[in-house]
Structures are given as structure tokens and as C-alpha cells.
Amino acid sequence: MQIYSFLARKENISLKKTPFFAFCHLKTLNFALFIRCDMIKDGSDFACRLLAWYHENGRILPWRGTRDPYVVWISEIILQQTRVSLGHDYFLRFVERFPDVGTLAAASEDEVLKCWQGLGYYSRARNLHAAARQVVERGGFPDTYPDIRKMKGVGDYTAAAIASFAFGLPYAVVDGNVYRVLSRFFGVEEPIDTGRGRKYFAALAQELLPETGLVAGYNQALMDFGAMQCVPKGADCGVCPLSDGCVAFRDGRVRDFPVKSRSLAVKERYLHYIYIKVGGETALFRREGNDIWKGLYEPWLMETEEACPPERLWDLEGMPVSLCRKEAVRTLLCEGVRHQLTHRTLVCDLQVVELPEKPADLGRKAVWVRAGELAGFAFPRLVAKWLERFSLT
């Protein structure tokens, strides 16, 4: 297959296809491609058909159509483990608040986490902040794959995305969508959750890359195709432009791909929150360590190894004496609330305890704030919902 590209400033070029040629206009990149497909079912035709599909169906997203590495980087980090529908508005708010890498680097971690609140996987925000400071310290954004890969929180996929989208470098992106499309089309039985499998798919994806000038559009096409057409469940294979060469479709095994060697068990954790109020102030605690929600704020917390009714908490070892005194006014707001994380189910309850004076035996350093100041703190999404639902702000 030979691929020729030329600049075309036309806005309404429709797809035309013969047994040997495909012509399409990539609206998001503002140039046209003249593609000769000599073989119908080889890897080159795979790229040709994807680009043609992308012309007709590609998503219009605010981070596309730019080669600004900062914008590309922010969008890719936000979209890790996040649906595009949710990430879209977060992206707009984030780049409005932090329009360039210097502004992000100069911000405090609390400011960054507050802007990130509700997106989850908060290590992404902390790594983003640290990497911004790396970029400022080195004097500019890295423009080679090895240097991009050295940025805090940037893995193989993100480095490839930045390298190809911002700099046009020939690196294939491999995410969940890409695993699904490639494994189904080529009938790859190699598990995607093993080191060997990841290397296999990385090599396959790299081998399928078209000419350098087409890499960005091809990578975006492949990801959109997995997100919109070759979806995990209920894929409409009858209208798929790749179906006549797809091994999984031919063999009636679309649901069998991609292959995984194991499934992670979902564990339950039992969290008991106590919202401590003294006068017009409440106690907040910053989460530390390497557990979930690091750097975010929450009410006082006791975690138990198994389910425990809220009324029995007061008898457990580790419960501060100050919270058990007779003058303490306790109110149960909710119990048994299930909050789903990727591989954990949190079973939570929330109580309010009103005390006459600030206790000194809480076991963690408290930050005492007035209700009107709560909006300035970053909370886990569950806690933020509670604050709003029970009018605690």
C-alpha cells in the first residue's frame, strides 16, 4: 500500500472508494489523504478503513485540533479511567483555571486537588502537579518520547499520545479501546493483563502505524473506533467497516476478546465517618499515606474490618472518649451507603456529633473550619455529596 498526503483546504469532501483507492478528508486535522489500497485485508487496509471511518464519525472534542503539548497532556491525564462525557467539562474547567504549565506549577497541591474533585484517582492530579514543576524546571515541555516518558505520572500510553498528537512522532497508542479492537480484528488470544501480552500488543500496534504524517489521525481514529463502534458490549458488527476481515466476527467470538488471564476480586471496606461540630466550626482531616484519596479532606474516620452497626461504634477500641461523653449530641444521617471504586466497594455511614468544646484525643491533626469555608477544601466525591445533601456546608 502507498499513502500520499497533500494539503487540501476544502471543507466538504466526502468519502469515495474503489477497489484500489480510498479518498477522505480528515476534518480535525484539516488535510486530505489520497490512499492507494493494493491489498484488501492487509494491515495497511486496516489503517485505510479506520481513517475513512474517522472522517465520517470522529468525535469533535475541545482538545483536538491542537498541537499544544500542555493541552494534549492535560486531556490525556484527565481521560485516564474517566469517560469522555465526564472528562469534557473537567478539562474545560481545568485549563481555564490553569491555562499553561507555569500557572499549574505555581499552584498549591490543595488548589489542584480542589479543581480535580470528583474525578477520582487523585494520584493523577498530584503527579500532574509534580510534572508541571519538572517541565518548568527544565525550561520547557519535552519533545521526544524518552523525555516525555520521564515526566511524573506519564506511562507508555500517555507518552505515545503526547508524542504523536503534539509532535507527530511515530508512536502507537495502546489503551483499553486499542486492545479490544486489535484483539478482535486479528483474533489475538494473548492475555492483555500480562507482561508478554502488553509487549505483543505494543509491537502489533506499532507495526500497523501508517506514514508519519498520518500517525496522529490514525491513533485518534483507532481510539474513537473502540469507544464508539467496537464497544465492550453490544457492538453493532453488522455496520462495522472492518467486519469482513475481523477474526472474532467471523468465528462468532466477539464477546471473547480481549482475553484476560484473571479477574481482580472486588473487596469491601467499611468506613464510619463522624462529622464533629463545635459551635460554628467543624473538624476536617487531610488523608495521608498511600491509601485512596490521598491529599483530600474528610470528617473524622474509623474503619472496621467487617460490617459494624453505627450504634456499636462507640464501644470499639480506638473510639475517642470525647465522642462518647453524655453531653455529646449524636445524629445518624445515613448508614450502609455503598460507594463503588474500581476494585473496592466502600460501605459507609455518617454521623454528626456536636460537642461543647474541641476535643484533644482525636488521634489525627484536625483543621477546624467554619461551614462557609468548606467550599475551599477538596473532598472525596462521596463526602462532597453528603455535605450538599445534608446541608452541612
Answer for the pair 23, 32: CB distance below 8 angstroms, yes or no.
Answer: yes
Which pLDDT belongs to residue 33? 37
Among candidate residues 47, 53, 59, 61, the one with its CA nearest the CA of residue 91? 61
Which pLDDT belongs to residue 264? 65
Residues 6+ apart with CB under 8 A from 102: 136
Which pLDDT belongs to residue 82? 86
Give one DSSP letter per residue of 286-304, joined into a string. Answer: E--TTSTTTT-EESEEEEE
* 3-state DSSP percent of the chain in helix, strand and coil, to 5: 40, 20, 40
Amino acid at 125: A
Question: For the chain, how many residues are written?
Answer: 393
Name all domains of the chain by residue range, CATH numbers in brackets: 2-42 (no CATH), 69-256 (1.10.340.30), 267-389 (3.90.79.10)
Which pLDDT belongs to residue 44? 63
Exactly one of 11, 56, 76, 298 is catalytic; which is it?
Answer: 76
Q: Could you tell me if residue 22 is left (phi over 0), alpha (psi between -120 and 50 degrees) or otherwise beta?
A: beta
125-152 confidence digits (pLDDT tens): 999 999 999 999 999 999 999 999 999 9
Alpha-carbon torsion 113, 118, 122, 127, what sign? negative
Q: Could you tell me if residue 263 is left (phi over 0), alpha (psi between -120 and 50 degrees) or otherwise beta?
A: beta
253-277 confidence digits (pLDDT tens): 999 999 998 766 788 999 999 999 9
Q: Say if pTM beats, i.e. exceeds, 0.85.
A: no
Answer for the pair 358, 368: CB distance below 8 angstroms, yes or no.
Answer: yes
| CA pair distance 189, 382, nearest whole angstrom | 39
Residue found by looking up cell 496522529 in the block? 216
pLDDT values of the chain reduced to their tens digit, one per residue, 393 residues? 222 222 222 223 233 332 222 333 333 333 333 333 332 234 468 999 999 999 999 999 999 989 999 999 999 999 988 889 899 999 999 999 999 999 999 999 999 999 999 998 899 999 999 999 999 999 999 999 999 999 999 999 999 999 999 999 999 999 999 999 999 999 999 999 999 999 999 999 999 998 778 999 999 999 999 999 999 999 999 999 999 999 999 999 999 999 998 766 788 999 999 999 999 999 999 999 889 999 999 999 999 999 999 999 999 999 999 999 889 999 999 999 999 987 899 999 999 999 999 999 898 899 999 988 999 999 999 999 999 999 987
Residue 11 among the catalytic residues: no
